[in-house]
Amino acid sequence: MQLARWVPRPHWRAAGLPRRASAGEPAEYRLVGWVFLRCLAAIDLAAFWSLAVQIEGLAGSQGIYPITEQLARMADRYGAWRFLAYPSVFWIDASDQALAAVAYAGCAFSVVLLATGWMCRRLERPALILLYGLYLALYHAGQHFTNFQWDYLLLEAGFLAIFLPGGPRLTVWLFRWLLFRLRFLSGISKVLSGDPTWSGLTALHFYFETQPLPHVGAWYAHQLPDWLLRLGTAGTLVVEILVPLMIFLPRPWRLAAAWLTILWQVLILLTSNHNFFNLLTIALCLFLFDDRALARVLPRRIRERASESQILPERPRRAVTVSAAIAAAIVVPASLMAAVAMVPRVEVPKWALTATDSTRRYRIANPYHVFPTIETARIELQIEGSLDGQDWRPYEFRYWPVDIAHRPPFVVPHQPRIDWMMWFVPVSPLFLDWFERFLHRLLEGSPPVVALLAKAPFGETPPNVIRVEGYVYRFTTPEERAKTGHWWQRDDLGPFAPLPSVRRAP
C-alpha cells in the first residue's frame, strides 16, 4: 500500500502569523494597536468634518456663542494662567477663518494618520498629538454644542493613543480601563438614577420614540412586541453592568465581552443616530482581542507591515514607556474620583475635586453615563417666523423631526449639533440660554447660523418676529402609516411658555 505524501503545515513565521503565546507568556498587541489607530483616524476624520461644516455658526463671530466671548471671560478669570486653564490654539487667532482652518486641519491630519500605516511611521505620533490638540480646541470652542460624552470619549481615546505606537502593554490596559468605565458606569448610572423605566424594564418602550435623533430603524424597533422590548431593556443592563466585568478576566471571557459589546453597539446603530459614538466603542473593543485573533482575518501584507510599524528602537521605546506610566498615574486616580462623584449622596473631598480639575479641562479622565433616564414623551418645538405677525412660516431643520411625513434620516457618523440640542430645550431649563441666543441670531439673519438649517421661511430676508410652538410627537402605528404615509403623529401644545415669541430689536 502506498502512503500519501506528508506535506508539512506552514510555519507560523512563514505564514506571517503571530506566534501563539505559550502558557504564562503575554499575548502580543501590535496588530491590535495598528488597526485601532486606523479606525481612530477614520473616526477623527468624520468628527472633524462634521464640526468643520458647523463651527462658524456655533462659535464664529456671528455664531450663537462667539469664541471671542469665551476667550475674554477666561482671560479675566485666569489671567496669565489662561493658557493652561483653557487650552486652545485659538489664543493665537480666534477669527472665523481660524475656526474653519483648525477643523479642516483636523481632517487633513486624520488622513495623515490613516496613511502612516502605509507610508512613514515617524509621522504617526506627531499626527496623534496634533489631532488631540486640535479637537480639544474645538471642544472648548463649541461650549454647549460639544459638551457631550462622545466628545469626551474621542479626546480621552485620542490622548491614550499617543502612547500606543510601540508603547508598553500598560497602554492596552488603559484602553481596557477606558472601555470598562464607559460601559460599566453607563449601566450603573441607570440603576443609581432610580428611573422607573429601567427598574420596570420599560425603557425601550419609550427610548426609540423619545431619543434625541431617531432614524427610520427606530420606527421599526418601536413596533416590536412588549416581551421583546422588555427583554432588550434587561439585556442592556446585563451588557452594561455584568459584561464589562469580563474585560479583566482571562482571554475567553474577554473575547465574549468583546462580541457581546459589539453586538449591542450594532443594534444601537440600527436604531439610533449617535454619530461616531458607537463606532468608537466598537473600535475600543479591539483591545479585548489580541494579535492572534486579528491575524485570522487580516491579509498577510497588512499583518507584516503592521507588526513592523509598531516596533521602536530602545531609546524611544523607553521614553514612551515612561510617558505612559506617568499618564496612567494621572488618569487612573482621576477617573476613579470622577466615577465616585457620580454616586448620589457621596461627597467628594474638595482637595480631590481640585486635583482632578485639570483632567476635566483636558478631558483625559471622564465620567460616562449614557441615558441614565429615559423620557416618556417626545416634545418637539417648531420655530416659525413672520414679517407682519399674520403670515407664519416654519424654519425647516435638516434632521430634526418636525415634518410628520418626512422619513427619519440615518446620519451616522455626522452629528448635526443644532438638531441634537433642540431635544434638550423642553427637557431642561438649563438649555434655554443657547436657544434664546439661537432665536436672536435667526432674527438677525446670521448667515452661518441660518446655514445650519435646511430652509429659512423667507429666504435671505430675516423675519420681524419669531414664535415657538410646542407639540407632542409619537410614532405612527403600522396601520396609521399605511393609511396616511406619515411616520409621526403630533398633538398641539400651544406656545412654548418659556419663550413664546421673540421680536427684532427696533
As a whole number of angstroms, the distance between CA 371 and CA 310 comes to 37
- What's the pLDDT score for residue 342? 84
Among 77-86, 141-150, 187-196, 304-313, where is mean pLDDT lowest? Answer: 304-313
- Computed over every residue of the chain, the mean pLDDT equals 90
Question: What's residue 16's pLDDT?
Answer: 47
**What integer pLDDT is reported at residue 96 of this predicted model?**
96
pLDDT above 60 (res 4): no
Q: Which three cell numbers stand for residue 387?
A: 414679517
In the structure, what pLDDT confidence band is assigned to residue 167 with cuts at 50, 70 and 90? Answer: confident
- Integer angstrom CA distances of residue 207 from 151, 203, 475: 22, 6, 12
Mean pLDDT of the 114-125 span: 75
For the record, the C-alpha cell of 244 comes out as: 464589562
- Give the CA diameter of the chain: 106
Query: Which residue did the predictor score with more confidence, 166 or 188?
Result: 188
Per-residue confidence band for 449, with pLDDT thresholds at 50, 70 and 90 = very high
pTM: 0.92
Show the cell assigned to 354: 481640585
Q: Tell whether the model's pLDDT for residue 5 goes beyond 50.
A: no
| Confidence band for 109, pLDDT divided at 50, 70 and 90 | very high
CA distance linking residue 283 with residue 158, whole number of Å: 12
For residue 120, the model assigns a pLDDT of 61
Task: Summarize the confidence of residues 301-325 as an average pLDDT.
Answer: 80
| pLDDT of 13 | 44
User: Which helix H or strand E contains 12, and what residues bound it?
Assistant: none
Q: Residue 286 and residue 288: Cα distance in Å, rounded?
A: 5
Residue 343 pLDDT: 84
53-88 pLDDT tens trace: 999 999 999 999 999 999 999 999 999 888 988 899
**pLDDT at residue 311 greater than cutoff 80:** no
Q: List phi, psi (to 5°) of 301.
A: -60, -40
Give the model confidence (pLDDT) of 125-141 as tens digits.
999 999 999 999 999 99
Model pLDDT, residue 28: 86
pLDDT at 107: 97
Using the 8-state DSSP alphabet, how is residue 296 labeled?
T
Please give the pLDDT value at position 236: 97
Rounded (10°) angle between helices 96-116 and 124-142: 150
Which pLDDT belongs to residue 360? Answer: 86
Interatomic CA distance for residues 261 and 352, integer angstroms = 32
Query: pLDDT band at 506, cuts 50/70/90?
Result: low
Q: Is the pLDDT of residue 3 over 70?
A: no
For 292, how many CA atoms within 13 A lie in the half-sphere containing its CB? 11
Residue 415 has pLDDT above 60, yes or no: yes
- SS3 of 57-124: the string is HHHCCCCCCCHHHHHHHHHHHHHHHHHHHCCCHHHCCCCHHHHHHHHHHHHHHHHHHHHHCCCCHHHH
Domain boundary assignment for the chain? 30-362, 378-503
Tell me which of 223-232, 288-297, 443-452, 473-482 is least confident: 288-297
pLDDT of 334-368, one tens digit each?
Answer: 999 888 888 887 777 777 777 777 788 999 999 99
Write down the pLDDT at residue 315: 81
pLDDT at residue 8, rounded to an integer: 41
CA distances in angstroms from 339 to 58, 62, 182, 355, listed in the order given: 30, 38, 10, 14
- Rounded Cα distance, 249 and 255, in Å: 10
